[in-house]
Structure formats: structure tokens, C-alpha cells
Amino acid sequence: MSPKESSKQSASVAPAEPSPATPREPRYTPSEIEPKWSERWAAQPDLYGCEPASAGKKKYYVLEMLPYPSGQLHMGHVRNYAIGDALARYMWMQGYNVLHPMGWDAFGLPAENAALKNNTPPRQWTLQNIAAMKRQMNRIGLSYDWRNEVTTCLPDYYRWNQWFFIRMFERGLAYRKKSKVNWCPACCTVLANEQVINGYCWRHEDVLVEQRDLEQWFLRITNYAQELLDELNKLDGWPEKVRTMQRNWIGRSEGAEVEFAIAPAAPDEEQEKPKNAAELIKSALEPNHAGTRVLPPLENVQAAGKKVSVFTTRIDTIYGATSIQLAPEHPLVKEFAASNEKLAREVAALLDQQKKAREDGDVGEIEKHGVFTGHYAINSFNNERLPIWVANYILLDYGTGAIMSVPAHDERDYEFAKKYGLEVRIVILPRRTSEDTSREDEEPLLPYTAEDSLLINSGEFNTLGNQEAQHKMAAYAEEHSFGKATVTYRLKDWGISRQRYWGTPIPMLYCEKDGIVPVPDSQLPVLLPENVEITQEGGSPLGKIPEFVNATCPKCGGPARRETDTMDTFVDSSWYFYRYTSARYDKGPFDTAAVSYWFPIDQYIGGVEHAILHLIYSRFWTKVMRDMGLVKNSEPIERLFTQGMVIRNGAKMSKSKGNVVSPDDMIARYGADATRAYALFAAPPDRDLDWQEDGVAGVSRFLGRVFRFVTRHANRTAGVNNATPTSQALQRKLHQTIRKITEDFGGRWHFNTSIAAIMELVNALTAAEPQIAAGEVPDAVLAEILRNLVLLLAPFAPYLASELWEQIGGKGELLRAPWPKFDEALAKEDEIEIPVQINGKLCNVIRVPANADEDMLRDTALADEKVQARIAGREIVKAIIVPGKLINLVVK
């Protein structure tokens, strides 16, 4: 069918095409095309199935993060999956054996909340939601291999969580210790951090949440801290920001641990107790002039009593320490406060401030407060007595929960010392003044913290460079048994106990005779009981089921109590992607042969909000499995991509903001192809996407134009056989488009520009309709163009592409059709010469592609040597650029 009206326009922005009202002109109706193909695809359960490892083909494992089955996909999901799906389809067309699975992160608190609210058992609620979301995914046309679906709340999956847990217990990687939990005294249960709102219970607005010590299970991730840090350097395929976030989370710092003896009494009491340790020290000392001192008999100090251990990264400044600062929860503080009610009250206030700051996530920004305990500690380097303070910005879980405060050389210490009038003593100076340390007027601006400095006022360590001093002073402390060089990490062991119902039961038993006994492998899985009443009050729901709690000890046959805590759901997501390779395997967590073929994951795609916990736990789990001999790879993920958020009206889409766009609505109105193609087109995938419904409509109109163009020319059989200028221009455009999209897939994934390139190609084709109608394009060329246009569209709009593939008589499954190859010779752009004038005078002539736009012309001109020489040092006040004609730069 050829167009009746022809346009005289040349290839410009808005080429005309035949009016849709033309008789028998087919209409693009996604509401018909898409369900038809959905049905056909559903009838081929193997369509997206991967081939077994034994097929020996080159593999590609592309994975999107598995969702929590809330019951409704949101646009963030659609965007995430559209990216993964485009890539999977592209890799299939490139001839790879592709694994593209999907599953459900199905345990977790929302199911319990829903159970309370709707009186539906968590399992039923979860499985209903999974079914609903799976329907949505299939409607969108996502190419998932459902034969390898993984649902983490089902026993065939979580039994392996239990199996792994027991293996870790055997290896000393799972252990129990007392730990702080959030406890609501009204609920009589532990709360997750997100259930603590400004310090109050989420269900009891007026009940303050307490911190309680509870026995909890931990996984020893800290054993792998250094390896987790080191191997970040090898993850070249990860975004730098994610690697940085993980580095900060692991938080390695090199430094020294130094013990300060606690002076046993306050100064005014000393005289009355001549035999105490402070006296011993005092008597052992000569008057303490800088540089000449006799060191104390340290054994005596240590033997005399308590010590406080501080971690410092700057032991070289220890002579400048003028106080010791403890975290409010430090055990020594408890002791001091036990006999001092005023102190106890003040410490409680400091702790409250710290907790609030922690909840708000900005301990670093906290307004610093502190209180003097009335006690002193002794600096073993110079035997000075340092007042011991408690400060709200010191955290118990970082380092040792105690610091030495060196106000002259630390920002925080300086701020604190100024506020409370503590001594500020300079002990390092910039190197340049080292020759003349007597010149007081050259003191650096405080606090002075530079790494490259020299020591002063530091006894025998004076004049050392600070790096050297750090080694020597740590060695000195070690030699005298009051300290040593150490490395600390911010990373803590992973607490996995949850006093919740909807999670994996921890497979442990407690026997009075045998203590902690793991459930034997033959008794796995420990099934999560059904029909449990969820009240979220009175402790763990499993603890209220006698049939669950009461068990038999496998060692002695006597009675045993079963662990009633369940596992953190991050356990489920730490290894789920291994299970995808052999999801029905029942002799182990996965088939190791399949895993060694498919791993590492070639491309993982998900939100940056998982940059830390999920991705660190996954890396840890892989290293443990490697050490168990289960996998060969040390890292699970080769390349990671974090997509941007979907926002609308300036905010992330969320129910509370009322700015949610439902994928179902969009699909009903514009079709799945338009919705997903828009999600790729509207912004580069790594950036935030500002949702505009007009944009979806625009993409839908574009797909309509493709549909009509291909349909019009699908069965054409009249035309010349020789190349004409029009056919050459169209071929050139086609091959440039193929090149562009192929490069986008291989590089930065700027699918927005890929789709824009297809739009340009379609513009060029529509603009050439009069010439095509006049037979100026050989059939073979037109057929090649149509075929390739459909192939290029396949990763982005698979429904429409499949429909058109059928129309043009494409052979076989579109998904397995080879991706088009570009011909560099055909893609080569004609070049033209453009004069560059400066202030109206010809400067040079540059060669540019015939279609170079203003930006390209400007860039090429400014990069030209002659032009650069002429404008050197002058300001360009104006650039007159006429594409295809000339460039005139006005400079002064």
C-alpha cells in the first residue's frame, strides 16, 4: 500500500505521513496485539528457558533484584525490569545462552502486618500477591524463565537457609551473644528499627522504646572484613559510588589501641591513701620535663586496677591528649554512675541525645555535649592524669567506645575542648617550621590535622615525622604492654535473630544437658507452623506454640527447647541467585556444576538502596560458600547497575505522596510496549526519571508510526533494483542506527538515546515515503530496512516487534533472530567542508559530517588548531553557526 498524499518536505523534524484516516490504513492497537502475543508466549513454557551448561554455549546471566511481593508492581519495578529485559533480549539475539530468572523475597514483616489487618494468614496473603505480580510481569511481556522461579518463603528454599546456618555454626561463623534490641514494654516484644518512630513504639505512640540486652544469633561477617574490602578493588564493573559506600560501611582504620590506667581515686583523696597506684606511679617519676623523663613501672599501674582502652588513628599526637572521652554506654561509665546519681542522670541525657541522632542518621552532626565523671586516667607515655569525660558523640560500637581527646589536632576534640574549657596542647607542627620550633608565632591554625608533620612536646619522640612516630610509638606501647598497632572496622557481625513469625526458623535446639545443639540435617527443614495467631505482642509468635517449642534432643534423646527466633530476611536474599541455576534441585542448595557454569552473574540490576546491606551480605555468603568448597567464584556479581528512581511532581512515587502512577493504568491506556519503552526513553537508566504521562502518549504515537510504516511496506514488490541516492541515504541512516544501539548496549546503556535513534530512523523513513512510493528504493533494500527496524525494536517493544516480525515473514522466534550487524562502509557519513570565520574573516575550513548539528560544528571548530591559535586568550562573545554553511565566531 502506497501513500496517497506525498509531502514535499525534505528530511526534517516532523515528516508527514499518510493520514490515519486513509481507507484500509491499519491502526496500531496494543490492546489487541499484546494479549495475542502474551497468550502465544504463555503457551511456550520453554521460550525463555536457558539451555543446560552441558550445551557448552557462551553464557550470559542477567538478573534484576527480586521484589518483595507486596501485591502490586510499581513504576520503579517496571523501570528496573524493562532495563533487564531489554538486555536479556539483546543477549539472546547476540547468540548467548541467557539465564534471566525471577523470584520473590517473600518473608518479612509486611505479611504479618497484613495478617493482623486483614485477618489473612501470611502465607496465603503472600502467595496471592505473588500470583498477582506474576500476572503483571507477564502482561508487561518480561522474558523470565519461570521454570527456575524461587520463592523464599517455601520450605524447598528456606530449608537451605537452615542448612547453611548449621554449616556456619559448625565453622564457628554463627554464634550467640547478648545484644541490644529495641523493646516495647507495652507490646512485650522486640521492634525492628523501622518500627521505632522518634524513640516511640509505632503501635504505642506514647510508649518509649527501651534498649534491652537479649541473646541473639550473629554471623561472623567480620572474619571477612578485610577480604570484602580488598576485593572491592577488583569489581571494575560496579558503580564507583557503590564501592565507596561499601568501603565506608566496612570502615577500616589503621591505628593503635592504647590502654590508660584509671587513677584509683580523685586528686583530693590521694594524699590520704599513700599506697594507691597513683602514688606508686608518682613516686616512680622524676619531674616530667619534655624530652627527659623516666617511664613509670607500668606493671604496677596495670596491676593496680582498671584500664580503659582507646582506639586512635593518631597515636603520634598522644602527648597532646588532654582528656579521655567515653561513650555513654561504656561499662566504666556505668560503674562511675552507680555511685553518683547526678552523673547517672547526666549520662542518661547524653545517651538520649545520641539515640535521637542515630535514629535521624546524623550522629556526625550531633551538637556535642559531655560531662566530667570526676575520675582520671593516666597517659602511660607521659604519666599525665587526664580527666575522664562522657560525651554524646562517642559510639560504643565504634573502636573501643573510648577515645583520647587531642583538641589541638582533631576537629571534634577541638570543638569539644573549646566548649568545655579543656586544655589545647600543640604536639605536631608543619614540617616547614621544624627547624625552628621555638618560634611560637608560627603555630598553625588550630585544629591542625595534617598528615605530614613533625612532633614537638612529645618527649623522646620529638622531631620525628608523624608517620615514623606512629610506628615507633605503637611499638613502644606494645613493648611495654599497654598497647599495640591495630586495625579496626566499622563493620559489625551480622545479627540475624528476629522475634518474628514470618521468616526462616533458626534450626537450633537447647538441651539442658548438651547446651546448644543443631537440628540434624535429616530433620530439615524445620517447618514454619501454619495457623499461627499473629498478635505482635508478648514475644515471638513461635514461642507460643508448644508443639513447635518442645522437641527432642538429638544427642541425648531428652527434652529440648526449640529456638523460636527466625532469620533476618537478608539471609534469604544473600544466596537466592545461586538457586536460580537449579531451582528444583533437592540434594543441596544448588547444583554446583550449574553454578560453576553460570557464575558470576554477568549483570545485576537494581536500586542503589541495596548498595550496602544486601550486596555486602551476598558477597560474604559467596566467600563462605567458596570456603566450604561449594562454589569456585569469590564474588557473586561481575557487573552491577543501579538504576535511578522514578519520580513524579518532584518526589519519589509513593502512596503517602499521592503521586503514584499504576503500571496497570498505563498499560490499559497505552500498552505495555509504550509503558516500558517510555521507562527506558525518558531518562538515562542511571538517572532519576521524572514521570510524564504525555511522554508515554508520545512513545505510543511513535510505536504507531513504526507499525503503520512497516505494515504499509511489508509486502511491497515493485521498485528499481539499482541503488539510488535515497536508498543510499536510508541505508546509511539504518547502519548508523544499528551501530549506535549496539554501542549503547555494550557501553553506557543510554537506552534513551537508543530509542531516540530509532525515532530518527523512522523520521527519515517516513520523510522518504514519496521516493519509496515512486519506486526509488530497491525492494531488497527496503526489505533489509524493515527487517532491521523490527530487530532493533525487539529489546524495547517486544510485542510490537513480534507482530511486525510476523508481518514481514520473519523466520523463527524473534527472540532468537540474530542481532543486526552494522556495515561500517554503509554507515559512513558524507563529509562536507565548512568555513570557520573569526570576526567575519576566514580562518580555516573544517571537515564535518554532512548532518553535523550546531553543537558538533562548534566543538569541531573550537578543537581546530588554527582556530585555537587565533582565539587564544580572547573571549568568544558570540557564535553564529549555520549548519551545512558556515561558522562565525565573534571574539574580543
Interacting residues with Zn ion (CB under 5 A): 184, 186-187, 201, 203-204, 511, 513-514, 553, 555-556
State the minimum distance, in angstroms, from the CB of residue 186 to Zn ion: 4
Rounded Cα gap, residues 332 and 307, in angstroms: 9
Q: Which is nearer to Zn ion, 553 or 624 (CB)?
A: 553
State the minimum distance, in angstroms, from the CB of residue 643 to Zn ion: 37
Note whether 773 and 6 are within 8 A (CB).
yes
Rounded Cα gap, residues 136 and 141, in angstroms: 9
Q: Which is nearer to Zn ion, 556 or 869 (CB)?
A: 556
Q: In terms of Cα–Cα distance, which of 695, 530, 605 is closest to 155?
A: 530
116, containing H or E segment: helix 109-118
State the minimum distance, in angstroms, from the CB of residue 31 to Zn ion: 49
Q: Which is nearer to Zn ion, 549 or 612 (CB)?
A: 549
State the minimum distance, in angstroms, from the CB of residue 316 to Zn ion: 49
Q: Which is nearer to Zn ion, 553 or 792 (CB)?
A: 553
Directed axis angle between helix 30-42 and helix 122-140, to 10°? 120
State the minimum distance, in angstroms, from the CB of residue 217 to Zn ion: 19
Q: Which is nearer to Zn ion, 513 or 701 (CB)?
A: 513
Rounded Cα gap, residues 428 and 454, in angstroms: 5
Q: Which is nearer to Zn ion, 125 or 183 (CB)?
A: 183
Q: Which is nearer to Zn ion, 214 or 862 (CB)?
A: 214
Q: Which is nearer to Zn ion, 86 or 553 (CB)?
A: 553
Rounded Cα gap, residues 733 and 782, in angstroms: 13
Q: Which is nearer to Zn ion, 188 or 880 (CB)?
A: 188
State the minimum distance, in angstroms, from the CB of residue 355 to Zn ion: 17
State the minimum distance, in angstroms, from the CB of residue 667 to Zn ion: 41
Cis peptide bond upstream of 52, omega within 30? no
**Cell numbers at 352, concatenated:** 538520649
DSSP string spanning 378-436? EETTTTEEEEEEEETT--TTSTTSEEEE-GGG-HHHHHHHHHHT------EEEGGGGGG
Note whether 617 and 570 are within 8 A (CB).
yes
Residue-wise burial string across 397-420, b where 16 or more C-beta atoms lie within 10 A, e elsewhere: ebbbbbbbbbbbbbebbbebbeeb
Q: Is the four-CA dihedral 648, 654, 658, 660 of positive or negative sign?
A: positive
State the minimum distance, in angstroms, from the CB of residue 200 to Zn ion: 8
State the minimum distance, in angstroms, from the CB of residue 598 to Zn ion: 42
Q: Which is nearer to Zn ion, 209 or 583 (CB)?
A: 209
State the minimum distance, in angstroms, from the CB of residue 553 to Zn ion: 3
Q: Which amino acid is at 106?
A: A
Planar angle of CA 74, 79, 81, nearest 5 degrees: 95
State the minimum distance, in angstroms, from the CB of residue 549 to Zn ion: 15
Note whether 388 and 375 are within 8 A (CB).
yes
Rounded Cα gap, residues 458 and 605, in angstroms: 54
Q: Which is nearer to Zn ion, 183 or 691 (CB)?
A: 183
State the minimum distance, in angstroms, from the CB of residue 169 to Zn ion: 16
Note whether 887 and 837 are within 8 A (CB).
yes
State the minimum distance, in angstroms, from the CB of residue 542 to Zn ion: 19
State the minimum distance, in angstroms, from the CB of residue 167 to Zn ion: 21
State the minimum distance, in angstroms, from the CB of residue 188 to Zn ion: 8
Q: Which is nearer to Zn ion, 560 or 640 (CB)?
A: 560
Note whether 219 and 494 are within 8 A (CB).
yes
- Plot region of 158 (φ>0 → left; ψ -120 to 50 → alpha; else → beta): alpha
Cis peptide bond upstream of 447, omega within 30? yes
How many helices (H) and strands (E) the chain has is answered by: 29, 34
Q: Which amino acid is at 334?
A: K
Directed axis angle between helix 672-681 and helix 75-93, to 10°? 90
Rounded Cα gap, residues 649 and 657, in angstroms: 10
Rounded Cα gap, residues 672 and 94, in angstroms: 24
Q: Which is nearer to Zn ion, 115 or 679 (CB)?
A: 115
Rounded Cα gap, residues 121 and 279, in angstroms: 69
Question: In whole angstroms, how large is the CA radius of gyration of the chain?
Answer: 35
State the minimum distance, in angstroms, from the CB of residue 539 to Zn ion: 12
Going by the DSSP 8-state scheme, the letter that residue 871 receives in this structure is H
Phi, psi of 515 (to 5 degrees): 75, -135
Q: Which is nearer to Zn ion, 560 or 773 (CB)?
A: 560
State the minimum distance, in angstroms, from the CB of residue 117 to Zn ion: 16
Q: In terms of Cα–Cα distance, which of 434, 424, 477 is closest to 310?
A: 477
Q: Which is nearer to Zn ion, 252 or 555 (CB)?
A: 555
Q: Which is nearer to Zn ion, 516 or 556 (CB)?
A: 556
List strands edge to edge, sheet with 886-891: 841-849, 831-838, 886-891, 876-882
State the minimum distance, in angstroms, from the CB of residue 109 to Zn ion: 14
**Cell numbers at 420, concatenated:** 568545655
Neighbours of 263 (CB within 10 A): 24
**Cell numbers at 394, concatenated:** 562517642
Phi, psi of 756 (to 5 degrees): -60, -35
Q: Which is nearer to Zn ion, 282 or 555 (CB)?
A: 555
158, containing H or E segment: helix 155-170
Q: Which amino acid is at 712?
A: R
Rounded Cα gap, residues 730 and 781, in angstroms: 9
Q: Which is nearer to Zn ion, 514 or 638 (CB)?
A: 514
Q: Where are the alpha helices (DSSP H) in 265-401?
A: 267-270, 277-284, 298-304, 331-338, 341-359
